[in-house]
Every structure is written in C-alpha cells, then in structure tokens.
Amino acid sequence: MKRQNHNPFLLALKARNLSVEIHHHAAYQIVLSDDTPFNSTIGGIHYEQIHGFLIKPHVSHFCVAEKGTLSVLNIEAYSNIGLELARRLKEGQDYIVFDSLAETNLFFQTPKESLDVNKVVDALLATLPNAKYDERVIKIIDYIKVNYFEQNITPQTFSDMVFLSPSRLASLFKAQTGSSLSKYLLWTRLREAIYLILSDKARSLTDIAYDTGFYDLPQFNKYMYEMFGMPPKALKHNSDLIAIY
C-alpha cells in the first residue's frame, strides 16, 4: 500500500510485531500504537505500556511491540514540519512519551480516541503555512520525481535547469522547504527504496540500491541507518512492515 502525503520530508510506515535494537537516527520520529500499548527505552529510561512517543534526532532508543501494530513517522529535522515539531518541545526536552490516547490526541489535535496515522499526518500538515512555491522550485521537484534514480545528479544539474547559481538556488530551496536540495533528493530515493523493499521482498537489496540512485548497497545501508536507525536488511526481515504511506 502506498499513499501519497503532501510533504516530501515525511515517511510514514505501519508495522506489526515490531522489535528493534537500540539505535538513533537523524530524523524526528513519532511512534504511535494503533491498538496495544507497547514498551520502549528512550535515553536509558524504560517505559512500559505507553501509547506512543515523539523523539528528537540522535537520541538513543528502542521499542518492543510484539503483539500490536505501530505507526512510525520519520520527519526530516530541518524541513518545515520538522521545525514545527521542534517548536512543540520545551527547551532541553529530547522526547515526549504519550501514556494515553487522550494525551496523544491533545498533542496532535486529532479526534478523540483515535490514532489513525492519516489524521495525525493531516493535523501536522495543517499547522504549516500555505506556501506558493517558486516556479523554479516546482520545476526541480518535478525533475527529481522522474529522475531521482540517476546517479549523476549534482547541484550544477539543478542550477543549469533554472539559470541560478548553486548558492542562490540552495538559498531559495531552503527558504521554501526548510531543508536542502540534497536532502530532498536523498529522501526521495529512500522513500522509493523502502517502498520497493516492502512491495517486492524477493528483490535483492543491491538491485534496489542501484535502481533508486545509490552507488552501491553500502551507501544505501549508510543512509538508511543514518536517517532511520535501521539498515535495509532489518527493514526487510526483522519486522512485519505492512504499509508505507
């Protein structure tokens, strides 16, 4: 299952019987239980029977939900939606644990007694200001959608398309999205790679790496672990991931 959301820097997965080792990653992460409360250790503190958490990048954690279904949202830290999450955390606060449905609904402003990931995503996106994107930014985004798998894409590739210097284009793109062109390209490649991993488990990870623009499997492994705290092999085999949104 693949559902297109309205923010390129947000990757949402649904997982059943999830159990991952201690890790950290470069994205904000929101984990929510669809049904059964789960256990998690965050920053060395153990929590039992929680309904979810929001965690900043680079905070060590792991969770065990062997009997339930979780929604896992990964969000680029410097995107507009990532910056919105940063504003919701207090100074010095690395994470928030949700002990009940009511707490979760209050934080995300979603309907009571519901943890539908689509409603959570919609509520987060609703907090962002409406932006009219520059035609040059739109042109580059459209190009990446079609050509993300090309390995020879460079900053100069984009500059030549819109007749701006790499530095001016970088400033424009970041002003409109909150993040960089290189991160946009990386997230596009990772989203497509993850979709292929989940939709065709017989396909080799090496083939998927090449087909989505990575030079080789080690580079794919590096970025997967850096961004999401999980290598592709673990994504494929260690949990029953049933949907990507």
39 three-state secondary structure? strand
Domain boundary among 108, 126, 144: 126
For residue 117, is it within any domain? yes
Are 63 and 31 in contact, with CB atoms under 8 Å apart?
yes
Domain final residue pick, 109, 126, 143: 126
148 pLDDT more than 90: yes
Q: Are residues 111 and 172 in the same domain?
A: no
Is residue 55 one of the residues assigned to a domain?
yes
Boundary residue ending a domain (81, 104, 126): 126
Q: Is residue 53 part of a domain?
A: yes
User: Rounded CA gap, 168 and 92, in Å?
Assistant: 34
Q: What is the pTM of this model?
A: 0.84
pLDDT of residue 101: 86
- Asked whether residue 31 falls in the same domain as residue 103, the answer is yes
**Average pLDDT taken over every residue of the chain:** 86
pLDDT value at residue 166: 93
Count, residues in the chain: 245
Look at residue 244 and tell me if it is in a domain: no
Structural domain contains residue 2: no
Q: What average pLDDT score do residues 219-223 get?
A: 94
Residue-level pLDDT at 4: 38
17 and 120 both lie in a single domain: yes
pLDDT exceeds 60 at position 6 = no
Asked if pLDDT for residue 7 goes beyond 70, the answer is no
Domain CATH number, residue 187: 1.10.10.60
Please tell me whether residues 56 and 142 are part of one structural domain.
no
- Of the candidates 74, 86, 78, 77, the one whose C-alpha atom is nearest the C-alpha of residue 228 is 74
Residue 167 forms part of a structural domain: yes
Query: 133 or 207: which carries more pLDDT confidence?
Result: 207
Residues 144, 165: one domain?
yes
Tell whether 58 and 114 lie within a shared domain.
yes
Structural domain of 216: 135-229
Residues 18 and 120 in one domain: yes
Answer yes or no: is 96 within a domain: yes
Q: Read off the pLDDT of residues 14-31 as tens digits, 9 standing for 90 and up.
A: 877 766 677 888 889 999
Residue 216: per-residue pLDDT: 95
Query: 242 or 209, which is more confident?
Result: 209
Same domain assignment for residues 55 and 156: no
Summarize pLDDT for 43-53 with one digit per residue, the tens.
Answer: 899 999 999 99
**104 and 180: one domain?**
no
DSSP label at 2?
B
**In total, how many domains does the chain have?**
2
117 in the same domain as 140: no
Same domain, 76 and 51: yes
pLDDT of residue 242: 57
Give pLDDT, residue 3: 38
In this structure, is residue 194 part of a structural domain?
yes
Q: Which stretches of the chain are assigned E, i.e. beta strand?
A: 10-19, 27-33, 38-42, 45-50, 52-55, 61-76, 95-98, 240-244
Dist. CA 100–CA 113, nearest whole Å: 9
193 and 139, same structural domain?
Answer: yes
Average pLDDT over residues 99-111: 88
The CATH number assigned to the domain holding 112 equals 2.60.120
Q: How many CA atoms lie within 13 A of 105 on its CB side?
A: 11
